[in-house]
C-alpha cells in the first residue's frame, strides 16, 4: 500500500533523516515514535508529499508519490495535522464537506454522493448531532473529531495522523484512538500515526517504528520495540516495561532520574 525507500532529509543542510526504509500494508495501524527532533513529523511530511526528500522515494499503490497530483494523492490519503486553521464561523457540516474537494468536478457543485459521504463520516465520528454548530463553539476534543470526520469524507485508503491526541484530556484521547482503531479493523483503512505517548502507542498500534539519531532504531510489534534497552538509547531515561492484563497492553513507567552522557 505504502512504501518508503531509503529516505534522507535535512533542514538548512542539517541532516534529519538518513536511509529510512519500511512498508505499510493494507489495514495496518503503524505508530511512529521517538524523542523530540528525531524526524517524526518530517517523515510524515515526506510521506504526504508536503516536503521533498534529499534522497529516496515514497510509492503509493506502486506509483511514485512525485508523479501524482495533489488531488490524486488526496483521493488515496487523508491527513490529520497537529494543528489546522478552521474559519470560526463555519459549521461542522461545512468543515466536513471540505473533505470532498478531491472528488468534486467543480468547487461549487455539491452532489448527493458528497452529502452522503459527509453524513457517514459524521456518524462514524459521533459529530452528526452537532452538525449545525459553529466550529468556534466546540471543545478541543470535538474539534479534533470534526477534523477526523473531514479526513474520512475524503474516502481515503490511508489515514495520516500527526499527534492526534496532543492537548486532549484522557476521555477524548481514548475516544479518538478507539475510533481510529475501529476504522482500521472494520474499514481496513491503513493508518500511520506520529505519537509521543508510548502507552497509547502500545495500546492501539499493531506495529511501531522508533526513530533515533536520524535512523530507524527499532521496528516491530510493540513488545519488540518498547524495551528498556531501546527506550534508554533513544530517550536517555531508565524505564520499566510491564504488561497490564486489565487493558491487555504493555505499559511504560519512567523511573526516577535519567541517564547522563
- Residue 102 in any domain: the answer is yes
Q: Do residues 141 and 179 make contact, with C-beta atoms less than 8 angstroms apart? A: no
Q: And the C-alpha cell for 47?
A: 510521506
pLDDT at site 258: 58
- Residue 179 in any domain: the answer is no
Q: And the C-alpha cell for 149?
A: 470526520
Please give the sequence-ordered ranges of beta strands (E in DSSP) within 147-186, or none if there are none.
Answer: 158-162
pLDDT over 90, % of the chain: 79
Question: What mean pLDDT do residues 35-63 have?
Answer: 93
| Whether pLDDT at 55 is above 80 | yes
| Whether pLDDT at 78 is above 70 | yes
| Whether pLDDT at 61 is above 90 | no
Q: List strands edge to edge, sheet with 14-24.
A: 14-24, 2-11, 55-60, 63-64
- Residue 142 in any domain: the answer is yes
pLDDT at site 140: 86
Contacts of 147 (CB under 8 A, 6+ apart): 80, 84, 86, 95
Which DSSP state fits 91? B
Q: Do residues 44 and 162 make contact, with C-beta atoms less than 8 angstroms apart? A: yes
pLDDT in tens, 104-125: 876 667 899 999 999 999 999 9
| Whether pLDDT at 241 is above 60 | yes
- Residue 147 in any domain: the answer is yes
pLDDT in tens, 174-231: 999 999 999 999 889 999 999 999 999 999 999 999 999 999 999 999 999 999 999 9
Count of domains in the chain? Answer: 1
- Residue 96 in any domain: the answer is yes
| Whether pLDDT at 259 is above 70 | no
Residue 137 is part of which domain span?
Answer: 85-155
pLDDT in tens, 126-149: 999 999 999 989 988 899 999 999
- Residue 68 in any domain: the answer is no
> Judging by DSSP bridges, how do beta strands 190-194 and 29-33 pair with one another?
parallel
Amino acid at each position: 500500500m505504502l512504501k518508503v525507500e531509503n529516505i534522507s532529509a535535512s533542514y538548512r543542510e542539517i541532516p534529519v533523516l538518513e536511509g529510512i526504509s519500511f512498508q505499510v500494508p493494507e489495514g495496518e495501524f503503524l505508530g511512529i515514535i521517538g524523542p523530540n527532533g528525531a524526524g517524526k513529523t518530517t517523515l510524515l511530511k515526506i510521506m504526504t508529499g508536503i516536503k521533498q526528500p534529499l534522497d529516496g522515494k515514497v510509492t503509493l499503490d506502486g506509483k511514485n508519490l512525485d508523479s501524482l497530483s495533489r488531488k490524486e494523492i488526496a483521493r488515496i490519503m487523508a491527513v490529520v495535522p497537529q494543528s489546522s486553521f478552521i474559519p470560526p464561523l463555519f459549521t461542522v457540516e461545512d468543515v466536513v464537506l471540505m473533505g470532498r474537494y478531491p472528488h468534486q468536478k467543480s468547487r461549487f457543485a455539491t452532489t448527493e454522493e458528497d452529502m452522503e459521504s459527509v453524513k457517514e463520516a459524521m456518524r462514524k465520528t459521533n459529530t452528526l448531532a452537532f452538525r449545525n454548530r459553529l466550529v468556534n463553539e466546540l471543545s478541543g476534543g470535538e474539534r479534533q473529531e470534526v477534523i477526523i470526520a473531514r479526513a474520512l469524507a475524503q474516502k481515503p485508503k490511508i489515514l495520516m495522523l500527526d499527534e492526534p491526541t496532543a492537548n486532549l484530556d484522557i476521555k477524548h484521547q481514548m475516544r479518538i484512538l478507539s475510533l481510529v482503531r475501529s476504522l482500521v479493523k472494520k474499514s481496513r483503512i491503513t493508518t500511520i500515526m506520529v505519537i509521543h505517548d508510548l502507552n497509547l502507542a502500545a495500546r492501539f498500534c499493531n506495529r511501531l517504528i522508533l526513530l533515533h539519531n536520524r535512523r530507524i532504531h527499532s521496528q516491530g510489534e510493540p513488545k519488540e520495540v518498547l524495551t528498556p534497552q531501546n527506550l534508554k538509547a533513544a530517550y536517555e531515561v531508565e524505564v520499566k516495561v510491564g504488561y497490564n492484563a486489565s487493558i491487555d497492553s504493555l505499559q511504560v513507567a519512567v523511573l526516577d532520574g535519567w541517564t547522563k552522557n
